[in-house]
Amino acid sequence: MVTTGGEASSCGPADATRDPRRPSLTITTSRQRRLGPLLIDPRRSSMLEVTGDLPHRFVTTDPQRYRPLIAAGITTLSAPTLRPPRVSVIIPARNPPETFTSLVDELIRSSWICEIIVVDDGSALPITLKGATIARNEIPIGPGGARNLGARLSTGEVLLFIDADIIGLDNGLGEALKLLHHHQIGALAPRIIEQWHRSPLDLGLDPTLVDQQHLNHLPAAVLAVARETFFAAGGFSEDLHLGEDVELTMRITALGQWALYHPSCTATHASQVWTRRLGKAARYGYSVGALRRRTNLALMPTFRTVPWLCGVALAPITYSLAATLKDLSRLHTHLAFDQRVRVALIVIDRHLTDHAALIVRQFGAPMLLGALLHRKARSALLFAIGIELMHQGIFQTLSDLAYSAGLWLSVVLETC
pLDDT in tens, the chain (416 residues): 333 333 332 223 333 333 444 556 666 665 555 555 556 565 555 556 655 566 667 677 777 777 777 776 767 777 766 678 899 999 999 999 989 999 999 999 998 999 999 999 999 999 988 889 999 999 999 999 999 999 999 999 999 999 999 998 988 888 889 888 766 889 999 999 887 777 878 887 778 888 766 677 899 999 999 999 999 999 998 888 788 888 899 899 989 899 999 888 899 988 877 788 888 888 888 887 767 766 665 555 544 444 544 554 444 555 555 665 665 555 555 556 666 666 666 666 666 666 666 677 777 777 777 777 777 666 766 767 776 666 667 777 788 888 888 888 887 776 65
pTM, entire model = 0.78
User: Do 251 and 343 share a structural domain?
Assistant: no
Tell me if 297 is assigned to some domain. Answer: no
User: Do 74 and 98 share a structural domain?
Assistant: no
Domain final residue pick, 57, 78, 99: 78
CATH number at residue 153: 3.90.550.10
User: Do 264 and 120 share a structural domain?
Assistant: yes
User: Do 141 and 20 share a structural domain?
Assistant: no
Q: In this predicted structure, what is the pLDDT of residue 87?
A: 94
User: Do 256 and 211 share a structural domain?
Assistant: yes
Tell me if 195 is assigned to some domain. Answer: yes
User: Do 196 and 345 share a structural domain?
Assistant: no
User: Do 256 and 168 share a structural domain?
Assistant: yes
3-state SS, the chain, equals CCCCCCHHHHCCHHHHHCCCCCCCEEEEECCCCEECCEEEECCCCEEEECCCCCCEEEEECCHHHHHHHHHCCCEEEECCCCCCCCEEEEEEECCCCCCHHHHHHHHHCCCCCCEEEEEEECCCCCCCCCCCEEEEECCCCHHHHHHHHHHHHCCCCEEEEECCCEEEECCHHHHHHHHHHCCCEEEEEEEEEECCCCCCCCCCCCCEECCCCCCCCCCCCEEEEEHHHHHHHCCCCCCCCCCHHHHHHHHHHHCCCEEEEEEEEEEEECCCCHHHHHHHHHHHHHHHHHHHHHCCCCCCCCHHHHHHHHHHHHCHHHHHHHHHHHHHHHHHHHCCHHHHHHHHHHHHHHHHHHHHHHHHHHHHHHHHHHHCCCHHHHHHHHHHHHHHHHHHCHHHHHHHHHHHHHHHHHHHHHHC
Tell me if 290 is assigned to some domain. Answer: no
User: Do 231 and 183 share a structural domain?
Assistant: yes
User: Do 138 and 24 share a structural domain?
Assistant: no
Count the domains in the chain: 3
Tell me if 282 is assigned to some domain. Answer: no
User: Do 97 and 69 share a structural domain?
Assistant: no
Domain final residue pick, 36, 57, 78: 78
Domain final residue pick, 78, 97, 121: 78
Tell me if 287 is assigned to some domain. Answer: no
| Domain carrying residue 406 | 303-415
User: Do 307 and 265 share a structural domain?
Assistant: no
User: Do 96 and 41 share a structural domain?
Assistant: no
Q: In this predicted structure, what is the pLDDT of residue 19?
A: 44
